[in-house]
Amino acid sequence: MSINRVNISGNLTRDPELRVTGSGTQILSFGVAVNDRRRNPQSGEWEDYPNFVDCVVFGARAEPLSRFLSKGAKVALEGKLRYSSWESKDGGRRSKLEVVVDEVEFLSSRSQQGGGAFQQDAGAFQQAPAYSAPVAAAPMPAAPQGGFAAPAPAPVQAPPSTDVYDEDIPF
């Protein structure tokens, strides 16, 4: 048995590139920088060493994600590794390992990112207000003789209204 799952988090190194194949499949390509910490043998200090990971998203999620990702955005990704090899124009053999992304989680707010699509759509995804504190439950009525009383149902609070609709969510 083998398992091919990858979880990484880091910052986008470039703005995503959206392409469409001849058959209509959308492909979104971008890079993520992931740091590795190592101790410098000369100084003894810990240093960050970047790893640059190529990532790709296929299908219907590619176009909406392209609107919400931009260079510098911090994301957490889950997917699988895919190895590709080909012959280059100069006749040499080329290869690369990339992550085929299944899940994307946005870790930075729009205000923390550079320009790009996030700034243009800033009003579309504002942080939802937090729910208010729960209402204290009403006191329990006395139990009937020889039995248990069911607790009184607590009043239900409706969540606050927001301006975010299903169409605004990129996946």
pLDDT tens-digit map of 18-45: 999 999 999 999 999 999 999 999 999 9
Virtual torsion, Cα 111, 113, 117, 118, nearest 10 deg: -30
pLDDT tens-digit map of 137-149: 444 455 555 555 5
Q: Which two tokens stand for residue 102?
A: 């299944």
> Whole-model pTM?
0.61
Going by pLDDT thresholds of 50, 70 and 90, the confidence category of residue 127 is: very low
What local confidence, expressed as pLDDT, does residue 144 receive?
54
Q: Which two tokens stand for residue 113?
A: 């990112």
Going by pLDDT thresholds of 50, 70 and 90, the confidence category of residue 101 is: very high
Provide CATH code, domain 1-36+45-122. Answer: 2.40.50.140
Q: How far is CA 5 from CA 98, 100, 102, in A?
A: 12, 10, 10
